[in-house]
């Protein structure tokens, strides 16, 4: 026999059961496993009275006490007896806990047998104990511990045959609040050459830090993909803000995605001139008429521009004119210290200027930039020197027959033990959308749609919501199924970070998932039988028919049913409108089969301007990752990449796509054609001059 969906059939158990205890402490329902023995102890009416009154709400009867207290006034449900149960000494040990939300505690059992009460002295916090056996019995102590005891026998034949009441625990647990999933803050630790950390800045990176921080120079630093430009930028931001104050350091990027990556805003938003329509005089007047934008320009001491390679020359010159006109200082950019970074070998700007395209073609560039630093040490593909050599050849367009053959040798399927597929990169957005939709459609199961919540913050301009949608990577509407492959967009903990790729395994309320994770270790979660058991529990929240649920449950191994019995029973009574979130299995690397399971809940994505948050989007930090656009992938590190170069059409596009990979072992290249590897002649000449300087 097995316990059915409503928990009314007895469950046969051969082994002697222990106790799974859940105790109410500090506003949370917490869990641990300990043995429990029933021995006579004096009963106190002091703490049990309110508990019994809270739980009772139906008919009541009087009870005789053991001479130590008077229970005549306590209102209790029928068919309940008073017995003495001690609190095990082991419960005083410090243990890890798991909280379950108030909504999820509503009517946790439909069949409850008997109540018991006892007194324990010198306890700091109350506990409640539920003991569940063949017909679950409830043992209440004045400490309030709830323990599930599968091995006990009924107190008496009469007790076993008595009607089994059900309870609404909402009154008792009214102080319980849902616990947000634990997220470890990822603090960026500054690294200097003299740092005691195992990681140190390279000599090239340290040169940039010295030029910017110590000499106050206008600096342009560049390098191939993976040379640590973004990490260096974040360090400069941190130290510059310490030096000048946060409001004096404007952190910008040419694209919204790049701005998010460094915690800044778009250059267009900072400047207050939009896309720069009109001549310089008109744009200066536009800024001067806006007191807030004018103040931002005047208080800025340092302007950082990331992905400068995607800023076209005309816009760059207008920015210089606006800075000088607003600040009334006839120096490049009005005397603001400028820090520029990017790689001109990557995707070029979209420019209407047919004569000039790149910023470095402007006379403003030569007047402005005082120091150029070329970063050469690669960190992304560290350890794969052959791939570094191949990518550098693609970057500058110097392909030898040997390198061409090396890339063609990567035209083979790469099989991963965890079943997570490589991310495919496409040059066009509609190709990406079609590829992801096709893959999602092929999956069986119930689709779940998560719609973002957008809101204006310190702005009254509805256009900021439009800009928010263009800027952040989190989509307005995210459709997921079990088995969907996703890309993590935020740092979560040491194992799961921005760029991690995983697969959706289940959809569960966070409280249920927290309780399951408290029961099972990370290694146990990798067992397929256990995964089948958790999947069975998640099917409850897919509104699967009862006969299907019972069939799924009965097909599980007995050992799995034993481990998950409480969670299976408990989940039957969770309100149907309880929100569920995806539980994602993230790979911990291509060279290991180990995984990390995480429940993903909504996070916040913001649109900022200097000193304030304009708008924000609340959405799951996930993106379908079977396919991404090459444009959107710029700046991302992808652990598994598949690239089809057949439709490449832009300078630098092949290089950006190929350089997302961290290793040749996890890079699959289709249709490699040397003619598709395009490099701008102007860019090549610019870097040649830089190398000779």
Q: Could you tell me if 362 and 351 are in contact, meaning their C-beta atoms sit under 8 angstroms apart? A: no
pLDDT tens-digit series, residues 638-684 = 889 999 888 888 999 999 999 989 889 999 999 999 998 999 999 99
Is the pLDDT score of 189 beyond 50?
no
Mean pLDDT of the chain: 74
Specify the DSSP element, H or E, that contains 122.
none
Any binding-site annotation on 224?
yes
Is residue 425 predicted with pLDDT exceeding 90? yes
Residue 228 annotated in ligand binding: yes
Task: List the Cα angle 31/32/34 in 5-degree steps.
Answer: 145
- Diameter of the chain measured on Cα atoms: 101
Asked if 151 and 13 touch (Cβ cutoff 8 Å), the reply is yes
| Between 261 and 574, the higher pLDDT residue | 574
Q: Is the pLDDT of residue 35 over 80?
A: no
Which pLDDT tens digit goes with each residue over 99-119?
A: 333 333 333 333 333 223 333
Distance set, CA 365 to CA 204, 321, 362 (Å): 22, 13, 5
The token duo for 567 is 């969670």
Q: Considering the entire predicted model, what is its pTM? A: 0.58
Residue 344 CA to residue 359 CA, distance in Å, equals 10
Give the per-residue SS3 of 321-336: HHHHHHHCCCCHHHHC
230 annotated as a binding-site residue: yes
**Cα gap 140→130, rounded to integer Å:** 7
pLDDT score of 626 more than 90: yes
DSSP H helical segments within 32-161, as ranges?
45-55, 157-161
CA-based nearest residue to 611, from 299, 288, 234, 273: 299
226 is in an annotated binding site: yes
Instruction: Give pLDDT tens digits for 146-188.
Output: 333 333 334 444 443 433 333 333 332 333 344 444 333 333 3
Is residue 271 over pLDDT 50?
yes
- Residue 380's pLDDT is 65
Domains recognised in the chain with CATH numbers: 203-375 (3.40.50.300)
- The pair phi, psi for residue 42, each rounded to 5°, is -65, 145
Q: 225 among the known binding-site residues?
A: yes
């Amino acid at each position: 026999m097995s316990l059915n969906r409503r928990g009314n059939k007895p469950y046969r158990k051969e082994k002697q059961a222990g106790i799974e205890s859940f105790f109410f402490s500090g506003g949370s329902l917490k869990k641990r496993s300990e043995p429990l023995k029933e021995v006579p102890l004096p009963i106190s009416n002091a703490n049990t009275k309110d508990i019994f009154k809270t739980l009772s709400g139906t008919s009541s009867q009087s009870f005789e006490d053991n001479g130590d207290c008077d229970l005549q006034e306590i209102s209790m449900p029928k068919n309940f007896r008073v017995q003495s149960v001690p609190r095990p000494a082991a419960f005083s040990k410090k243990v890890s806990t798991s909280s379950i939300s108030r909504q999820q505690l509503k009517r946790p059992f439909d069949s409850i047998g008997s109540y018991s009460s006892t007194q324990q002295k010198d306890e700091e916090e109350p506990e409640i104990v539920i003991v569940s056996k063949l017909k679950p019995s409830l043992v209440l102590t004045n400490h309030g511990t709830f323990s599930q005891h599968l091995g006990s026998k009924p107190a008496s034949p009469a007790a076993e045959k008595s009607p089994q009441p059900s309870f609404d625990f909402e009154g008792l647990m009214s102080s319980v609040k849902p616990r947000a999933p634990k997220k470890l803050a990822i603090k960026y630790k500054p690294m200097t050459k003299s740092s005691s950390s195992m990681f140190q800045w390279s000599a090239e990176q340290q040169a940039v830090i010295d030029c910017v921080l110590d000499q106050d120079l206008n600096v342009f630093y560049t390098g191939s993909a993976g040379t640590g430009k973004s990490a260096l930028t974040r360090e400069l931001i941190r130290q510059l803000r310490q030096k000048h104050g946060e409001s004096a350091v404007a952190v910008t990027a040419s694209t919204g995605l790049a701005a998010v990556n460094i915690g800044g805003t778009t250059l267009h938003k900072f400047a207050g001139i939009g896309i720069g329509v009109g001549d310089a005089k008109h744009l200066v007047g536009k800024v001067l008429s806006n007191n807030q934008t004018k103040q931002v320009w005047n208080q800025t001491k340092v302007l950082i521009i990331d992905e400068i390679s995607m800023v076209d020359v005309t816009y760059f010159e207008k920015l210089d004119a606006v800075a000088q006109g607003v600040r009334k200082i006839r120096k490049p950019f009005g005397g603001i210290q400028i820090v520029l970074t990017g790689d001109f070998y990557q995707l070029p700007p979209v420019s209407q200027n047919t004569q000039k395209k790149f910023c470095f073609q402007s006379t403003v560039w030569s007047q402005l930039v005082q120091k150029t630093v070329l970063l050469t040490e690669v960190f992304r593909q560290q350890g794969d020197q052959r791939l570094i050599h191949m990518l550098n050849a693609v970057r500058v367009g110097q392909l030898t027959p040997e390198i061409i053959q090396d890339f063609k040798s990567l035209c083979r399927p790469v099989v991963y033990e965890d079943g997570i597929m490589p991310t495919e990169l496409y040059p066009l957005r509609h190709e990406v959308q079609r590829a992801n939709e096709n893959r999602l459609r092929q999956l069986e199961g119930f689709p779940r749609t998560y719609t973002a919540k957008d809101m204006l913050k310190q702005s009254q301009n509805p256009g900021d919501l439009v800009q928010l949608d263009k800027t952040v990577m989190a989509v307005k509407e995210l459709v997921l199924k079990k088995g969907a492959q996703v890309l993590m967009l935020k740092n979560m903990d040491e194992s799961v970070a921005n760029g991690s790729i995983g697969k959706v395994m289940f959809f569960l309320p966070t409280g249920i998932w927290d309780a399951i994770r408290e029961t099972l270790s990370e290694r146990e979660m990798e067992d397929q039988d256990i995964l089948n058991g958790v999947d069975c529990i998640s099917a409850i929240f897919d509104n699967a028919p009862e006969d299907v649920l019972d069939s799924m449950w009965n097909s599980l191994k007995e050992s799995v049913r034993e481990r998950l019995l409480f969670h299976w029973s408990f989940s039957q009574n969770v309100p149907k409108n309880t929100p569920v979130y995806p539980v994602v299995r993230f790979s911990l690397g291509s060279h290991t089969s180990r995984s990390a399971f995480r429940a993903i809940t909504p996070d916040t994505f913001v649109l900022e301007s200097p000193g304030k948050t304009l708008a924000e989007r609340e959405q799951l930090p996930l993106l379908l990752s079977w396919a991404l656009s090459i444009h959107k992938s710029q700046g991302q590190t992808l652990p598994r990449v598949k690239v089809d170069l057949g439709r490449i059409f832009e300078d630098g596009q092949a290089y950006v796509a190929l350089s997302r990979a961290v290793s040749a072992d996890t890079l699959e290249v289709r249709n490699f054609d040397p003619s598709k590897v395009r490099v701008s002649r102007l860019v090549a000449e610019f870097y040649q001059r830089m190398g000779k300087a």
